[in-house]
Structure 1
Amino acid sequence: MARKKKVGSYPSGMIMFSLTLALFLIGLCGMLAIQSKRLVTYIRENNEVRVFLDKDLDAQKVNALYRTLVSRPYVLYQNNNPQITFVTKDSAAKQFIAETKEDFRQLLGENPLRDSYRVKLREDYFEEAKLKSIKADLEGINGVFEVVYQENLVDVINRNITKVYLIMSGFALVLLLIIVVLMNNTIRLALHSQRLLIRSMQLVGATNGFITRPFLRRGMLQGLISGLVAASLLVLLLQVALYNLPELAVLQEPEKMAMLLAGLVVLGILIGLISTFQAVNRYLGMSLDEMY
């Protein structure tokens, strides 16, 4: 005995697989974008400006200089602590010798290095024009001999950041368009078995809204399940990455990641709803000859 078809029931395994895979790829792009943004912020906030001091400054002048640096608006604060480190000339000499394996003090007979402050800046000041302004401002402070920062690094990072964001945005947009087209075709093929049932309901006087509702509910459910599965796979992938590379923990932003996962679920529901609506409307507008 043939099983009676029910409106809104059709094979959904391939639809959910395709949608889950597509949402996973979009989520992966989003996760990489979040990680990249955090990495850029981390690099920017750990880029130091070195403020070399005049020689023979007494402790009182050094402390006064510190208070002046702390008052500057471009200094980075973390946990209410200014990210300013004082490095004595002896510490700088030891670090230089450890890195180069050469003791220049034996050749020169003295330590020519200077005491310095290493100042970390806020991310929004990581631009060439602003850094030049900061350099001029700091060098105008009494007791400051010279201010040094890595100029080439700033230019390279800023140029590459723009390229990366443009590429990732373009890829995500193209992927989204492909998903919509793919889902429309997949759902339309899945609904092919229901086309005669849809026609029969039209002939007995069922309204388009009455016919469409079961399909839309099923499409939204498929999108919800696909979104949840894709979000779960992303979380699993992230946990595996953190387990194998614990250093990635510094790049995590739980709030943005939660928003991304919620966005995947919502996007899945919307794609399921819109694609199903378009596919059903196509069959609702077909003539009997076109259905055969």
Structure 2
Amino acid sequence: MASKKKVGAYPSGMILFSLTSALFLIGFCGMLVLQSKKLVRYIRENNEVRVFLDKDLDADKLEKLHAEVIKKPYVLYNGTTPQVTFVSKDVAAKEFMADTKENFTNFLNENPLRDSYRIKLQEDYFEESRLQDVKADLESVNGVFEVIYQENIVDEINKNITKIYIIMSVFAVIMLVIIIVLMNNTIRLALYSQRLLIRSMQLVGATNGFIQLPFLRRGMTQGLLSGLIAASLLFILLQVALRNIDGLATLQEPEKIAYLLGAVIILGIIIGLISTFQAVHRYLRLSLDDLY
């Protein structure tokens, strides 16, 4: 004996698979954006400006110079600690010899290098024009001989970062459009077996809202389930990546990751609801001839 059809009861396996796959891809793109933003911030905040000092500064002058430098508005702070590192000329000489594998003391009677400060700047100052202002400001400080930084590379990095963000944003928008179209078609096909039941309910006087309600509930449930599965898969993927990729843990922002996973779940509910509404609404407007 054939089972009795119930309104809103239609095959959902393909819908769950399609929506889960789509939400996973969107969530993966979002996760890449979060990681890349953190990486960009890390690169910017670890870009150092080197401040070379006048020779033969005594301890008092060095202390006053340090106190003046750490008060600058562009100096990066880690909590209450200014990211300003003093490098003596002796340490600088050891670093130079380690990098070049050459010992200049063999042909020079003195160390030509200078004491210096290595200063990490706030992310907002990672621009060529602002770095030039920082350079001019520091060079005006009494006791500073010269300020250097990696010129020209800053704007090039910023341009590449902007290009990457634009490409990823366009890709995410295209993916979202494709997902909505795909889900509309998938749900429309799944509802095909219910078209006559929908028409029968219309003929007995059921309102459109009454007919749509069970379908919308099912669509929201499917969206919620797909979102939960996709969020779980993303979380598992992230944990695997953290265990196998060195240094990835430093780029994590747990709060933003939680917001992203929550957004994936909410997006699943919204897509399931909207796609189901559009598909059911289409069948509600079909003429009798079009139903066949």
TM-score tier, shorter chain, comes to: over 0.9
- For 1:12, give the aligned amino acid: S
**In the alignment, which residue of structure 2 is the partner of 1:194?**
194
Cα deviation, residue 93, structure 1: 0.5
Q: In structure 1, how many angstroms separate the alpha carbons of the residues matched to 2:65 and 2:189?
A: 73
- Secondary structure in 1 aligned to 2:145? strand
- Secondary structure in 2 aligned to 1:151? coil
**In the alignment, which residue of structure 2 is the partner of 1:165?**
165
Aligned-residue RMSD, C-alpha: 0.6
Count of residues in correspondence between the two structures: 292
**In the alignment, which residue of structure 2 is the partner of 1:271?**
271
**In the alignment, which residue of structure 1 is the partner of 2:177?**
177
- Secondary structure in 1 aligned to 2:247? helix
- For 2:144, give the aligned amino acid: V
**In the alignment, which residue of structure 2 is the partner of 1:24?**
24
Cα deviation, residue 108, structure 1: 1.3
- For 2:248, give the aligned amino acid: L
**In the alignment, which residue of structure 2 is the partner of 1:248?**
248
Cα deviation, residue 100, structure 1: 1.1
**In the alignment, which residue of structure 1 is the partner of 2:99?**
99
TM normalised by structure 1 equals: 0.99
Residues 181-260 of structure 1 correspond to what in structure 2 (within 5 A)? 181-260=181-260
Indicate the larger mover: 152-161 or 224-233: 152-161
Indicate the larger mover: 48-57 or 155-164: 155-164
Q: In structure 2, how many angstroms separate the alpha carbons of the residues matched to 1:98 and 1:152?
A: 27
Segments of 5+ residues of structure 1 without an aligned counterpart are none
**In the alignment, which residue of structure 2 is the partner of 1:108?**
108
Cα deviation, residue 153, structure 1: 2.4
Cα deviation, residue 99, structure 1: 1.1
- Secondary structure in 2 aligned to 1:246? coil
**In the alignment, which residue of structure 2 is the partner of 1:81?**
81
Cα deviation, residue 247, structure 1: 0.9
Q: In structure 1, how many angstroms separate the alpha carbons of the residues matched to 2:106 and 2:237?
A: 54
8 Å Cα contact 2:44-2:126 kept in structure 1: yes
Q: Deviations over 1:175-200 (max 9, x none)?
A: 00000000000000000000011011
- Secondary structure in 1 aligned to 2:117? strand
Q: Does 1:57 align with 2:57?
A: yes
**In the alignment, which residue of structure 1 is the partner of 2:8?**
8
- Secondary structure in 2 aligned to 1:222? helix
Q: In structure 2, how many angstroms separate the alpha carbons of the residues matched to 1:152 and 1:126?
A: 11
- For 1:75, give the aligned amino acid: V
Q: In structure 1, how many angstroms separate the alpha carbons of the residues matched to 2:8 and 2:230?
A: 24
- For 1:47, give the aligned amino acid: N
- Secondary structure in 2 aligned to 1:4? coil
Structure 1 segments, 4+ long, off by >2 Å, are: none
Q: In structure 1, how many angstroms separate the alpha carbons of the residues matched to 2:181 and 2:41?
A: 36
- Secondary structure in 2 aligned to 1:108? coil
- Secondary structure in 2 aligned to 1:193? helix
- For 2:50, give the aligned amino acid: R
Q: In structure 1, how many angstroms separate the alpha carbons of the residues matched to 2:86 and 2:104?
A: 22
Q: In structure 2, how many angstroms separate the alpha carbons of the residues matched to 1:151 and 1:259?
A: 37
TM normalised by structure 2 equals: 0.99
- For 2:261, give the aligned amino acid: L
Q: In structure 1, how many angstroms separate the alpha carbons of the residues matched to 2:109 and 2:92?
A: 16
Q: In structure 2, how many angstroms separate the alpha carbons of the residues matched to 1:110 and 1:18?
A: 72
Segments of 5+ residues of structure 2 without an aligned counterpart are none
Cα deviation, residue 157, structure 1: 1.1
- For 2:258, give the aligned amino acid: A
